[in-house]
Structures are given as structure tokens and as C-alpha cells.
Amino acid sequence: MRTPKYEAKNRAIDWLNQYIVKNSNSKLPSTINILSKIHNLEIKPLDTSPIESNSWLSGFSDADANFSINIHKRSNKNSTRVQLYYRLEIKQNYHITDHEGNKASFYPLMSQLGMYLGVTVHSRSRLIKDKYFHSFTVISQNKNSNLKITDYFDKFPLLSSKYLDYKDWAFILKLQNSNPITTSYLDKALKIRTDFNSTRTTFNWNHLNL
């Protein structure tokens, strides 16, 4: 685990371990049955391994990221542009405070991700129904960062329906890299956009088969 939620996981482990100790001499059949199925857990340190070394980012992306295919007319030009983005956004601070009353920031984690992709971490504030929301965002949109995205997710596939969006996104990226002339793949991009992200109606879960 890499995020400040590490603290909540540790509290859950402490609770479980204390439960085992407190009930170790219980005579209740139900408690004895429970204790026979659980054991003490060891609290592991924060994961500081390279991001590309395991599937952590894949799980994080299933929850908080999205892939975008933006198609728009170029200003003052009679042509169309197709832009591909991977975007991950998360709130700036974890809601639990430490013993000094400070909230843990997600910035160190997002900074690591930004450095891995070679992109900038953006800070964003929004007012929604009289409440401010502050977040950090990492966006992959250039050739080098998108290449890292495909290298990573081909090695550590997503598990949710975002896998389907990623495969469509990666397909357009491959066409874009093989022929930079937009008209060579524009029709395919337009077609994919009709069944992509929130407009997706076609689903299959073959990628979950072992």
C-alpha cells in the first residue's frame, strides 16, 4: 500500500490482533470457531518500490482514473485533432488527521506518479454546491508518457470495464503512432467514441478469465 489509507489499514490490523488476544481464552463455541479461522497479521511498511514494478497503479486507476479520446476542430484551421489522455485525479488530503492535527497529503504519491510518467502534477479547486473540492491531477497526453501508460497497462491489466476503454484507447494510439495523419484513423476514433466511457453499452469480461 502506498497511500495515506495505510493508516486505516493498520488500525484494522491492530483491531484484529487485539480481538485475537482478548478472546484467546473464550469458551464460546462461536468465538472459538472464529479464532480457528484467523491469525495475527503483520503490519508491513509503506510500499516504496518502483511504480512500474507491480500492479498497484492498475488498481488505483480502476478506481480513480479514466482514458479520454478528445476529437475537436483546430482553431482557424480546416482540420480535426484527436488527442488521447490518461487522467488520474484524487483529493489533495486524506480525511484522517495525525496526532498533531495535520491531514496527510496525497501530493508525495502523485509527485512520484508524475515523475514516473514525466508529466506535471496539477492542483485543482472546484466549487460544487457551496463546497470547495481540492484535488491533484496527473495527465498523460504526450508521446512519451502515453507510451509508458501502454507499457504499464499491457503488463498489469485493469480489471474493471475500464480495461475495455483502455484497449480502445490504446488501439487509436497505435494507429496514431503508425500514421500521424489524422484522417487515416479519424473514422475509427469517431466510431469508438460512440461506445466508450460513459456511453459504453458493449461489455464483455473475457479479460477476467484465467
pTM of the model: 0.82
Q: For the chain, which residues make up each domain, given as ranges?
A: 1-47, 51-208
- Cβ atoms within 10 A of the Cβ of 159, count? 14
pLDDT 10s digits, 187-200: 999 999 999 999 99
Give the span between the Cα atoms of 8 and 85, in whole angstroms: 32
26-30, 46-50, 51-55, 136-140 — which is least confidently predicted? 46-50
CA distances from 36 to 19, 26, 41, 56 (A): 13, 12, 14, 31
Give the span between the Cα atoms of 2 and 111, in whole angstroms: 12
Average pLDDT over residues 181-210: 91
Q: What is the CATH number of domain 51-208?
A: 3.10.28.10
pLDDT at 87: 97
pLDDT at 18: 94
